[in-house]
Amino acid sequence: MATHHLRRRHTALAGGLAILALCLGFTVSPASAAPPTPVDYVALGDSYTAGTGAGDLAGPFPAVPCWQSAGGYVDIVDASTRVTLIDNAACHGAFLGPVGTSTPVAQQIAELSGTALNSETDLVSITAGALDAGSGLALQACSTPDTQTCAVIVAGIIQNLGTVEAALEATYQSIQLAAPNATVVVLGYPRLFDPAKGDIVVGGVTVVPVANQILVNQAVDALNATIAKAVAESGTSAVFVDVTKRFTGHAVNSDNPWIVLDLTQPLLDANFHPNDAGHQAYASVMLSSVQLNKLVKR
C-alpha cells in the first residue's frame, strides 16, 4: 500500500512539473541523437575502380604504375556524408598478380595491410579479374568482323576461368585477413553490347557483328558467375554485387550508353569502361548493397 501511494505521489509530481514547464514556455524534447560516424572505406582493384571512363579518357604517356581518373564511382561514394575514403589503391590495367606494368591487386593489398586496411576498416570495394580472364584479348579479337576467331578466344577464356576463380578466392581472403571487420563488396562487370541493336557499322563497314556481341556478353556472364562463385567459396564475409541488371539498356551501342566506346580511337584507354553515368550507376548499386548505418565503428 505504501508503495502504491509513493507511485501516485511521483506521478502527481511529474504531472505538476510538466504543467509548470508549459506555463513557463519550456518544451521537453529528447536529446538530439549524435550523427553516425562515417564508415572508413578502402577501394582496390582494376580500372573500373580506378575511375577509367570518368574524366580523362586517355592515360598518361609514358605509362605510370598506377593511373587513376577523378570522378569514378569511388569518388562518388566518398562524396556521401556517411563515408570517409581512407585510400583508393586501384590502378588502371591492374591484374590480380604480378603481370603487366600496373600495380597488381596483390601488391595493393600488401601495401595497405596494417595501415588503411586494418581492424578498423569498415568497408572495402573491389573490381578485379577481367584482365586475368583475358578481356583485353577478347575485345581485340571480337571488335572485328571475324566471328570464328572471336569464338575461339571466348571459348579459351571460359575454359581458363577455373584458374581465375582460385586467384580471386585468394584475393578476397587476403583482404579479409588484413581487414577482418570490414564488409567487402565485390562488384561485377556489365554486359558491353546490346545485340538487339544490330551490327555496329562504321562508314558502311561492319565493325562488331551481332554474333561477336553475343559472344562477348557470354564471356562477361561467365566471368561474373566465376566471381560470384569465388566470393561464395572464399570462406569470407565478402558479398558479390551484380551490375548487369542496372546497366540493361545502356550498353555501348544503346541509345543512352553508360559505357565508353569511341570507334574513331579503337585503342582509347576508356573504351569499354563506364562513363560518368556508368560510374554513378556503380556508386548507386554499391551503396544500395550495404546498409551503412549497420557498419558501426568497432
pLDDT in tens, 106-116: 999 999 999 99
Residues with a catalytic annotation lie at 47, 273
Write down the pLDDT at residue 175: 98
The Cβ of residue 206 has, within 10 Å, a number of other Cβ atoms equal to 14
Interval 153-179 mean pLDDT: 98
Does position 9 have pLDDT exceeding 80, yes or no?
no
In degrees rounded to 5, what are phi and psi of residue 208? Answer: -130, 100
Query: What number is the average pLDDT over the span 192-220?
Result: 96
What's the confidence (pLDDT) of residue 266? 86
Cell 560518368 sits on residue: 276
Confidence check: pLDDT of 19 > 90: no
Residue 100 has what pLDDT? 84
**Average pLDDT across the chain, whole number:** 89
**Count of other CB atoms within 10 angstroms of residue 201:** 12
Q: Is the pLDDT of residue 226 over 80?
A: yes
Give yes or no for residue 55 having a pLDDT over 60. yes
- C-alpha separations of 192 from 17, 101, 206 in Å: 68, 25, 17
266-295, pLDDT tens digit by residue?
889 999 999 999 999 999 999 999 877 777
Instruction: Give the model's pLDDT for residue 214.
Output: 98
Q: How far apart are CA 110 and CA 61, in angstroms?
A: 27
Q: Taking 50 as the threshold, does the pLDDT of residue 78 lie above it?
A: yes
The confidence score (pLDDT) of residue 35 equals 63
* β partners of residue 127: 45
pLDDT at 24 over 50: no
Q: What is the mean pLDDT of residues 228-234?
A: 98
Percent of the chain with pLDDT over 90: 77
pLDDT value at 253 more than 50 = yes
pLDDT band for position 136 (cuts 50, 70, 90): very high
Phi-psi region of 251 (alpha: psi -120 to 50; beta: other; left: phi over 0): beta
Name the strands in the sheet holding 239-241, side by side, starting at the edge strand that comes first in the sequence: 83-88, 39-45, 123-127, 183-187, 239-241
**pLDDT-based confidence at 34, cuts 50/70/90?**
low
**pLDDT, tens digit (0-9, with 9 covering 90-100), for 171-196:** 999 999 999 999 999 999 999 999 99
Selected residue with higher pLDDT from 169 and 3: 169
Amino acid at position 41, single letter: Y
Please tell me the predicted confidence (pLDDT) of residue 7. 36
Question: How far is residue 17's CA from residue 94's CA, in Å, rounded to a whole number?
Answer: 68
Query: Which three cell numbers, joined as nine digits, stand for 220?
Result: 562477361
The whole-number average pLDDT for the span 75-90 is: 96
**258: pLDDT confidence band, cut at 50, 70 and 90?**
very high
- Report whether pLDDT(23) > 70: no
What value does the mean pLDDT take over residues 240-261?
97
Q: What does DSSP assign to residue 205? A: E
Residue partners of 295: CB distance under 8 A and separation at least 6: 39, 122, 123, 183
For 266-286, give the DSSP string.
TT-TTTTSB-HHHHHHHHHHH
